[in-house]
Structure 1
Amino acid sequence: MKASELRNKTEAELREELISLRREQFNLRMQRGSGQAPRPHEFQRVRKDIARIKTILGEKAAAGEMA
């Protein structure tokens, strides 16, 4: 997921995507805890995507305050 793609989405769409990624992160943790051992790079991908979305939501909030 690229930041440029995320910037084109509305705030509501970003919040939905964030919820989806948090669920995926939870499911990955549960799989690791039960011994299924998902691919390690998936943890990093989800974590970075969550950070990207939170950054863009912050940017949109700051732009809304200034406007």
Structure 2
Amino acid sequence: MAKARDLNTLSVDQLDDELVKLKKQQFNLRFQKATGQLENTAQVRQARRDIARIRTVASAKRAEAK
């Protein structure tokens, strides 16, 4: 996923769209892990960190807009 400096170029709406996409990915990864189909378990951790990164950038942009 992109780094925070790359995410700064996106608008808040684009960040929200990306967040929804990552939340779906996280759900699918958790489901695969529970059923034993997930080979690379590090993907769960990476998805979680990407979600946190997007939320941080989006909240900073919203605070900046106020």
TM-score (norm 1): 0.90
Cα pair distance change 1:25/1:38, threshold 3 Å = farther
Provide Cα deviations, 1:2-47, integer angstroms capped at 9, x if missing partner: 0011000011110010000000000001101112133121011101
Amino acid at match of 1:31: Q
Q: Confirm or deny: 8 A CA contact 1:28 1:38 kept in the other structure.
A: no
Deviation >3 Å, runs of 4+? none
Q: Which residue in 2 is equivalent to 1:35?
A: 36
Percent sequence identity over matched residues?
37
Between the aligned partners of 2:37 and 2:47, the Cα distance in structure 1 is 18
* Unpaired runs of at least 5, structure 1: none
Q: Confirm or deny: 8 A CA contact 1:18 1:50 kept in the other structure.
A: yes
Say which one has the larger Rg.
Answer: 1
TM-score (norm 2): 0.91
Aligned length: 65
Q: Secondary structure at the residue paired with 1:37?
A: coil
* CA deviation after TM superposition for structure 1 residue 58, in Å: 0.7
Between the aligned partners of 1:25 and 1:38, the Cα distance in structure 2 is 15
Say what the alpha-carbon RMSD is for the aligned residues: 0.9
Between the aligned partners of 1:18 and 1:10, the Cα distance in structure 2 is 12
